[in-house]
Amino acid sequence: MITTATLARRALSKLFRLNTTATLATMADSQGQDAGDEHSARTVDNQNITSDLGEHPQTIPDTPAGKAKLPAPQGRTQGDSNESESMGAALKSGPSSPVSDAPPSPSALSSASSSSSTADMPPPSTITPSGDLLQPLKAKGWSFTKSKWISKYRCDKEVPTELRLLTWNIDFSAADCRSRTMRILLYLQKTALSRTPPPSCILLQEVDTWSLSTLIFHPWVRKHYVMTPPTTEPWKAHYGNVTLVSRSIPFKNPQILVFRNSTMGRTAVFVDIPIRSPTTGKIRTVRIANTHLESLPEGTKMRPTQLAAIAAMLRADGIDGGVVGGDMNMIGDTADQNIHIAAGLDDACLFPHDPANHTWGYQPPTRFPPRRLDRVFFTGEKVVVNSPEVIGKGLRTAEGMWASDHCGLSTTVFFTD
């Protein structure tokens, strides 16, 4: 939920960021699979972690990251400190480059890429029947031997029998995005997932350059996940959606759908993930969408069209089931509460009217009533999505800041035989 007052603050914030924030630079492609990545990854847990990325977001290095360690992260409790320090490689500073107003390099998304090949990528851009713009995205994984993010990263191609799916709006408008993002990542490691997470997909909304930098330099993310998009260039606002997929999963076809009717730069990010039946061995494809629908009462007319466009993508040829998670901003009357039904989607929540399933309105309390803004919808005869669990309730940094104004959701996706 984004209030009018918040939008005013964000407008001022946007003007400041346009003049001061460095564009995240292109991460160079490798020319082949990095066969040593998994071997090198074993050293991650034996190094110290630091997280302060400097006064401004750093340029993503195409050359090995510098060795200078930075101050320890904020946003941790005393108990968290020892846990973080033992978890892995340092968040290293990039090359010392001035803050630049230059746009991202045109090559940032010039060549289509998926987790393992470019064979299944769509054309450079497509206008969908709904009139929205569909574009391919890069997906990049961290190379421990090359010390950079690359498109042709090592993938063990282990098709999972089920997928853990998490969604979280991490709130770009509150102060100190880096410490708050660090706190959320630590929570995912210690509570929602684990230090060695199961096959999973994490959907993040309201990621800005500060929180994206934190993701890029974070050792747990580097070791276990692939990121799409890996730069800010595909975003149509000064924040956007980022999807993390376990690097062991041979997912395909990362794409972004740009809503033509959005006045807030809203989009949906898609990935296609294979899931195997544990009994028959049959492999089916689930398409996962990560979205942030139009906000405020002014967005009421846009949200049904945006969700319908996502639903059409989830039912595309070759897709056996589809799931969309994110901040749906469904704050209106009965019609607004039923836009998923109009789009032919099912709500994964078994008790949608239970206040225990509210994800917004408590952190902090506002003049608006608490709401279930974050939801998971699905489609497909064989796909099963467990009722989501609300996660991150009451989560704060060491300084007492709310990690986000939203709670997250966690569920599991699989196929029936």
Contact 257, 268 (CB under 8 A): yes
Q: 393 Cβ partners below 8 Å, 6+ apart? A: 362, 407
The pLDDT, as a whole number, for residue 417 is: 86
The pLDDT, as a whole number, for residue 343 is: 98
Alpha carbon 347 to chain centroid, angstroms: 21
The DSSP annotation for 202-230 comes to EEEEEE-HHHHHHHHH-HHHHHHEEEES-
Phi, psi values for residue 202, rounded to 5°? -115, 120
- Positive or negative, the Cα torsion across 360, 362, 365, 369? positive
The pLDDT, as a whole number, for residue 383 is: 97
Residue with tokens 């846990």: 83
pLDDT digit string (tens) for the chain, length 417 residues = 555 445 444 444 444 344 333 334 334 343 333 334 433 333 333 233 333 333 334 333 332 333 333 233 333 333 333 333 333 333 333 322 222 222 333 233 333 333 333 334 445 899 999 999 999 999 999 999 999 999 999 887 889 999 999 999 999 999 999 999 999 999 999 999 999 999 999 999 999 999 999 999 999 999 999 999 999 999 999 999 999 999 999 999 999 999 999 999 999 999 999 999 999 999 999 999 999 999 999 999 999 999 999 999 999 999 999 999 999 999 999 999 999 999 999 999 999 999 999 999 999 999 889 999 999 999 999 999 999 999 999 999 999 999 999 999 999 999 998
Q: Give the span between the Cα atoms of 134 and 250, in whole angstroms.
A: 22
Q: 365 Cβ partners below 8 Å, 6+ apart? A: none
H or E stretch including 134?
Answer: strand 133-136
